[in-house]
Amino acid sequence: MTPPVLEARGLHFGYEPGRPVLTGADLELHAGRRVAVLGPNGGGKTTLFRLLAGALVPDAGEVLLDGVPVRHTRAGRTALRTQVQLVLQDPDDQLFAATVAQDVSFGPVNMGLDDAAVHARVDAALAALDLTALADRPPHLLSFGQKKRVAIAGAVAMAPRLLVLDEPTAGLDPAGVEALLDTLAALEVGGTTPVLSTHDVDLAHRWAADVAVVADGWVRTGPVDDLLGDPELLRSARLGPAWAPGVHRLLRAAGSDARPRSAAELHALLAGQMAKRAPG
């Protein structure tokens, strides 16, 4: 595996003295490798993301970009944000401009790009998020799902290597979730690696290569099948079990090596097995 783009080493942080949120958190984020961050409400996921994006300064520990500690100065934060973009759970916390296009242009304009480069980045980001037809609309008149896409487009316009998304599927219907995942897959092809937090253990299992479980100040990371197949870990983090590892165990017991990662894949597998057994 290549060296991490972004790394947290021993992060400690608390909003109030004597009430720590993170107590020695470690995390590595690599280009091209999907990571889902899981944990209960109040467990520290958003705090971890804000520390990684430079929005918070750790009480102890450090964040490294390409192996170099991030400096918590204006120049240091600017350098970090050209590589790592954070999208918050509530898009209303990020959207402020009069039109969608103006909102998406904010980052590139503040990078000092010329007009042609800004327009090119905005047009590409709007197209990637299927927002071109809404470019002149005021963000406050959009639906919640559309606002989420605008917030992501603003981050994408910065052409980051890592796109850190805090609960991006919250509030979306199933079709909206699938559309978002398709968009993230397209961004990966363009060189942007998404990292997302979620409460949905099954979504994490089918989407991610690795997971980071955040709870009670600690972070445990590892391959998705290892961690989400660990009932004790999930209980300690107040998370429900993922159905796919249990299905895998049942299939193995039945002599099958198949590993469906979604309900659709399981349905197709069972339909195929039934067709083989059907008379004639």
> H/E element holding 65?
strand 60-65
Query: What is the rounded CA–CA span in Å between residue 104 and residue 94?
Result: 11
> Is 210 part of a structural domain of the chain?
yes
Tens-digit pLDDT profile for residues 213-236 = 998 899 999 999 899 988 899 998
Task: Say which DSSP state 89 is in.
Answer: S
Based on the fold, state whether residues 132 and 246 are members of the same structural domain: no
Based on the fold, state whether residues 229 and 265 are members of the same structural domain: no
Domains held by the chain: number: 2
Based on the fold, state whether residues 258 and 174 are members of the same structural domain: no
Average pLDDT over residues 195-203: 92
Based on the fold, state whether residues 121 and 203 are members of the same structural domain: yes
Query: Do the beta carbons of residue 51 and residue 58 sit within 8 Å?
Result: yes
Closest C-alpha among 172, 157, 212, 160 to residue 34: 212
115-128 vs 174-189: helix crossing angle, rounded to 10:
130
Based on the fold, state whether residues 142 and 157 are members of the same structural domain: yes
> Is 1 part of a structural domain of the chain?
no
> Is 58 part of a structural domain of the chain?
yes
Pairing of strands 19-29, 210-215: unpaired
Task: Please give the pLDDT value at position 273.
Answer: 67
> Is 165 part of a structural domain of the chain?
yes
What average pLDDT does the structure give for the chain? 90
Pairing of strands 162-165, 193-198: parallel
Task: Please give the pLDDT value at position 276.
Answer: 72
Based on the fold, state whether residues 138 and 253 are members of the same structural domain: no
Closest C-alpha among 21, 6, 92, 101 to residue 59: 21
Residue numbers of the domain that contains 258: 242-280
Based on the fold, state whether residues 131 and 269 are members of the same structural domain: no
pTM (two decimals): 0.85
Based on the fold, state whether residues 141 and 111 are members of the same structural domain: yes
CATH at residue 44: 3.40.50.300
Based on the fold, state whether residues 117 and 73 are members of the same structural domain: yes
Based on the fold, state whether residues 191 and 52 are members of the same structural domain: yes
Tens-digit pLDDT profile for residues 67-114 = 999 999 999 999 999 999 999 999 999 999 999 999 999 999 999 999
Based on the fold, state whether residues 225 and 272 are members of the same structural domain: no
Instruction: Tell me how long the chain is.
Output: 280
Q: What is the largest CA-CA distance in the chain?
A: 73
Query: What is the rounded CA–CA span in Å between residue 187 and residue 1?
Result: 21
Based on the fold, state whether residues 262 and 229 are members of the same structural domain: no
Task: Give 139-206 as a DSSP string.
Answer: GGGS-HHHHHHHHHHHHHTT--SEEEESSTTTT--HHHHHHHHHHHHHHHHTT-EEEEEES-HHHHHH
Output 18 or 266, whichever has higher pLDDT: 18
